[in-house]
Amino acid sequence: MHFFALSAGLLCLAIWVYLLTAHGRFWSVAGSRASVKRLGAIDGAIAVVIPARDEADVIGSTVESLLRQSCARSIHIFVVDDHSSDGTAQAARDAACNSERSEALDVITGSALPLGWTGKLWAMEQGIQQAMSLSPKFLLLTDADIQHSPDNVATQVAIAEAGNYDLASFMVKLHCQTCAERALIPPFVFFFFLLYPPAWIRDSRRKAAGAAGGCMLIRPAALERAGGMAAIRNQIIDDCALARAVKKSGGGVWLGVTPDACSTRVLWDLQRDREDDCSHRLQSVATFGMAAARCATWTDDYLPAPAGPATKRQPDVGCLGSSMLAADVFRVSSDGSLLRPEPRMGADPAV
């Protein structure tokens, strides 16, 4: 039994050593930052597509930040108003007017959700269809709550150009002020990069593919080769599904972090969060929950009872539980997926 316990403990140690030293250095933030300088000028149009539903409180600052980009003259914004009831469309128009760039914004009224599509992807599809009329060099798919610093888009374009990437995405700085956010956002980010190590995603020899949907820059030709949004129309975790489709079709994918864009949305507000946003964050945080639960289980088995009749506690069980804990994290990081919720399709546009 002691030999088994020792073997389990060594296995646990080996798995953790592997994760920390050979799993793409996923924990290194410095290695996930852009190492290129922004372009001084951008040749070609950048069409920005923003799907939005009831985002009147945040979309104005997002539009203004995009129209203040160093490459603002190359940018045209398409906001898809997905059946909002709070004046989202007008808030976007007011922001463009305040920036004296009303001509750089088109607001599209979303149509009814067809069968087989999730709401967000259908909104994005409508925006992309309109954006293609400009024959853009790049499409920037971004969320309604993302504020971009003046050099953010130019830096993202520089990354795509320097590495000949077809899809380049940034994990932006997330809102982290409430108690719930402070408890859940750090493990979410940690386990997101554990599931999708940026170094492996950039490596064309590896199958690993992932993206951060808040700020994705993609070449239109690559999107077409991947089958367009129709190829992932029923996916809840749409950004990573898009990255897989792009990489599978032979495209290059880049994923990293940036200090130059941030989310203004208060996260984990379950009354407001879209179902796909919640599912995306739970994918990584559930890994953390699994690990914590496993840890609690083997700790209970390992520690002696504080009172009561004498019981024989076996430290071997603790070693076994520890190895199972590490194995859980290893399995999830190897799979690249944990939660695959079934999407609700063809019903509520707010899916």
Could you write out the DSSP letters of every residue in 172-203? EEPP--SHHHHHHHHHHHHHHHHHS-HHHHH-
For residue 115, how many other CB atoms are within 10 A of its CB?
8
Tens of pLDDT, residue by residue, the chain (351 residues): 687 888 888 888 888 788 777 777 777 766 556 656 666 668 899 999 999 999 999 999 999 999 999 999 999 999 999 999 999 999 999 999 999 999 999 999 999 999 999 999 999 999 999 999 999 999 999 999 999 999 999 999 999 999 999 999 999 988 888 888 888 888 888 888 888 899 899 999 999 999 998 999 999 999 999 999 999 999 989 999 999 999 999 999 999 988 889 998 876 554 455 544 544 444 444 444 544 444 444 444 444 444 444 444 444 444 444 444 444 444 444 444 333 333 444 444 444
Flag whether the pTM goes above 0.85: no
Q: Which helix (H) or strand (E) holds 263?
A: strand 253-263
Phi-psi sector, 116: left (phi>0), alpha (psi -120 to 50), beta: left
**Domain 30-268: which CATH class?**
alpha beta
| Pairing state between β 167-173 and 215-218 | antiparallel
Enumerate the domain spans of the chain.
Answer: 30-268
